[in-house]
């Protein structure tokens, strides 16, 4: 006897039941409150969603056990009384009247299917059932059964069946739904509602009658439930947050359900607004948006495209590098504030300037003379931004971008002149990268990675990276809050109900990308729109195309987050006095800057013309020379140069300290 027990124990250890076969389940990405957003099939396209007794209607569990296995919580895997009853009924009637398989035995059969229903197969199921009872709790066995039970076609498990037939989780079920979900696994293909509705209806009616006999429901309620319509077809499985769910799936470390940081309500609003943005812009246009909570860096909504049915819709456009245009200018000024080389009230020239071979122009090709740094940022002036970047350093600027956690793609050209172009969008950046930068500015200069799943939030809080000094970050946000409101929006400073949104727009070279990024009320929002193939859209700017959607998305946040309005109140618009050394943005010891004619220019001169008035910016009275000869001055004291004929000339400007700047120009005349 002891040897037999020993052999059985050894066999149990050597030949364990294949429990792991039931652990392969569909990944379900849920929002922060557990609402399913998207499900992914397992092998061969099967839908197998992990069952959780705490999220299944208790009435269904009670009915299932009453019908299938009344002594489930009392037997050890094999119900001897049920077997005796089944054998007796078969002997008396000459045919099988009822089965004796327990739920544990059925689970064993689902884990290890066998095509033939022989006595040997039955004995193996019984042995496997005992093994399962030794290894798992009763609730674990029941959950495993409800995960693997067949429901027709590629459906496995009660959750997959409930989604397919009723378009909902099985947490609250009606009697007719309960009866159908119990009847289907008994003959899943013969009773499929979409293929054999009458068979499904008859099986459901029999189950309802049995539930009434077992006093689970009244006879009247059973009759009413039998009259309910049978599902005519299958519903689609959850497929919201399509692109974000793919990102979360790639980060998932467990099977089953992954709780994301997304908010289903905000995600739905964002998807609707992004779709409307693209729809209104034309057939070939796409759009994307990202909403990030600053405190935790949790991604609350991520819309990778305006729809899978539009061109490029399968691409996650929040993760594609595009030119950000002017959207990175706030970082340039923040670095200058941190260095102490500029302040919001610093006066800076918005005049034509050349930096080696690079000569930036403002978007409207107009120049405004001397402006403050705050005005230059609010009105997105290009020349002042490049002046500041020239002092901050393009290499430092791109290094800080990388330090923020982004992955900018830099241009292949070399040299300082090309490097300065990064400040106006001469690099590739994704919406996620841009969100990292703006979140750091909104968090007093602290950079953290974006968080996509519930488990990542605590880790993200631990080690922020100091990207910018807190006062510099605050100054930039305050400046951006004073940017001109978009058409149809009341400036926040003029009304108590409007949120103060610190925003910046961007338009890439050739009108290929339109951006808007904002910080307000504890949230960062980034909006992009354009053609996914990179084709230009002449005249379409970030302010016109993306900014209205940014404000609409903040409206959606305000509707969903009751604390947003209080956090988004306007700050004081008064800034500290500008220190005297920072009143003007001038580098000590800088040579004169020749404004006219620019280096490399070709000038047309008519015979007998009065000449050209030369212009430069520098300290004190400047001396001018043409090919080494002094340039005379007119009656007003301005240098007036009259070329001697066509050809190349070198013009030199010299200040009182002997600092010199030269330009090379070509003069053309009608005869030359």
For the stretch 488-522, what's the b/e string if a residue is b when 16 or more beta carbons lie within 10 angstroms of its beta carbon?
A: eeeebeeeeebbbbbbbbbbbeebbbbbbbbbbbb
Any alpha helices (H) in 112-157, and if so which ranges?
Answer: 119-135, 138-148
User: Comparing C-alpha atoms, which of 326, 297, 301 is closest to residue 542?
Assistant: 326
- Helical axes 264-281 vs 547-560, angle rounded to 10°: 160
- Helical axes 58-68 vs 197-213, angle rounded to 10°: 90
CB atoms within 10 A of CB 389: 27
The residue with tokens 């006219």 is 596
Identify the active-site residue in 101, 326, 380, 430. Answer: 326
Reply yes or no on whether 68 is catalytic: yes
Contact status, residue 541 vs residue 515, Cβ threshold 8 Å: no
DSSP SS3 for 321: coil
CA distance 419 to 136: 63
Largest CA distance in the chain: 130
Contact status, residue 514 vs residue 529, Cβ threshold 8 Å: yes
Reply yes or no on whether 326 is catalytic: yes
Residues 6+ apart with CB under 8 A from 385: 326, 329, 332, 333, 376, 377, 423, 424
CA distance 468 to 444: 7
CA distance 440 to 322: 20
CA distance 282 to 227: 48
* Token pair listed for 271: 């998807």
CA distance 79 to 99: 11
CA distance 594 to 572: 40
Give the residue numbers annotated as catalytic, written as ranges. Answer: 68, 326
């Amino acid at each position: 006897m002891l040897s037999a027990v020993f052999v059985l124990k050894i066999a149990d250890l050597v030949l364990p039941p294949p429990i792991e076969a039931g652990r392969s389940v569909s990944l379900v990405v849920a929002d922060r409150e557990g609402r399913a957003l998207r499900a992914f099939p397992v092998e061969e396209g099967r839908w197998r969603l992990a069952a959780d007794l705490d999220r299944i209607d208790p009435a269904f569990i009670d009915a299932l056990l009453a019908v299938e296995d009344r002594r489930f919580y009392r037997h050890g895997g094999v119900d001897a009384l049920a077997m005796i009853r089944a054998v007796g009924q078969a002997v008396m009637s000459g045919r099988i009247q009822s089965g004796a398989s327990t739920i544990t035995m059925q689970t064993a059969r689902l884990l290890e299917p066998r095509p033939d229903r022989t006595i040997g197969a039955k004995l193996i199921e019984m042995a496997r059932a005992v093994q399962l009872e030794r290894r798992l709790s009763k609730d674990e066995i029941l959950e495993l059964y409800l995960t693997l039970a067949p429901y027709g076609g590629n459906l496995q498990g009660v959750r997959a069946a409930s989604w397919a037939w009723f378009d909902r989780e099985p947490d609250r079920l009606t009697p007719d739904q309960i009866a159908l979900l119990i009847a289907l696994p008994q003959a899943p293909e013969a009773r499929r509602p979409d293929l054999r509705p009458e068979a499904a209806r008859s099986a459901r009616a029999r189950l309802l009658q049995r539930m009434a006999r077992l006093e689970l429901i009244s006879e009247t309620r059973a009759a009413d439930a039998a009259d309910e319509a049978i599902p005519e077809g299958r519903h689609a499985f959850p497929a919201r947050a399509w692109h974000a769910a793919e990102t979360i799936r790639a980060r998932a470390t467990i099977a089953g359900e992954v709780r994301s940081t997304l908010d289903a309500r905000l995600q739905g609003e964002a998807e609707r607004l992004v779709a409307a943005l693209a729809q209104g812009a034309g057939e070939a246009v796409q759009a994307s948006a990202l909403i990030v909570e600053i405190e935790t860096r949790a991604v609350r909504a991520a819309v990778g495209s305006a729809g899978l049915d539009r061109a490029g819709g399968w691409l996650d456009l929040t993760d594609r590098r595009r030119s950000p245009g002017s959207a990175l200018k706030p970082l340039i000024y923040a670095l200058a504030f941190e260095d102490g080389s500029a302040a919001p009230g610093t006066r800076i020239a918005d005049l034509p300037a050349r930096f080696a071979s690079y000569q930036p122009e403002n978007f409207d090709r107009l120049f405004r003379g001397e402006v403050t740094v705050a005005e230059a940022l609010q009105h997105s002036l290009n020349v002042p931004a490049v002046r500041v970047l020239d002092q901050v350093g393009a290499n430092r600027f791109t290094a800080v971008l990388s330090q923020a956690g982004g992955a900018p793609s830099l241009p292949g050209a070399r040299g300082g002149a090309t490097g300065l172009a990064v400040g106006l969008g001469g690099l590739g950046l994704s919406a996620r990268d841009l969100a990292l930068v703006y979140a750091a500015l909104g968090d007093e200069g602290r950079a953290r990675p974006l968080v996509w799943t519930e488990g990542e939030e605590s880790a993200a809080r631990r080690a922020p990276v100091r990207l910018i000094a807190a006062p510099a970050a605050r100054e930039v946000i305050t400046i951006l809050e004073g940017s001109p409101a978009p058409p149809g929006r009341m400036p926040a400073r003029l009304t108590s109900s409007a949120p103060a949104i610190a925003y910046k727009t961007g338009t890439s070279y050739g009108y290929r990308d339109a951006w808007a990024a904002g910080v307000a009320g504890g949230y960062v929002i980034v909006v992009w729109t354009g053609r996914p193939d990179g084709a230009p859209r002449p005249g379409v700017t970030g302010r016109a195309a993306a900014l209205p959607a940014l404000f609409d998305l903040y409206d959606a946040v305000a509707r969903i987050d009751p604390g947003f309005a209080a956090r988004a109140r306007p700050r004081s618009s008064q800034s500290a006095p500008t220190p005297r050394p920072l009143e003007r943005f001038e580098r000590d010891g800088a040579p004169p800057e020749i404004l006219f004619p620019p280096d490399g220019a070709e000038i047309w001169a008519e015979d007998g013309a009065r000449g050209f008035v030369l212009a430069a910016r520098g300290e004190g009275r400047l001396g001018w020379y043409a090919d080494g000869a002094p340039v005379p001055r007119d009656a007003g004291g301005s240098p007036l140069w009259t070329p001697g004929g066509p050809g190349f000339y070198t013009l030199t400007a010299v200040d009182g300290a002997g600092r010199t700047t030269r330009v090379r120009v070509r003069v053309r005349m009608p005869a030359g």
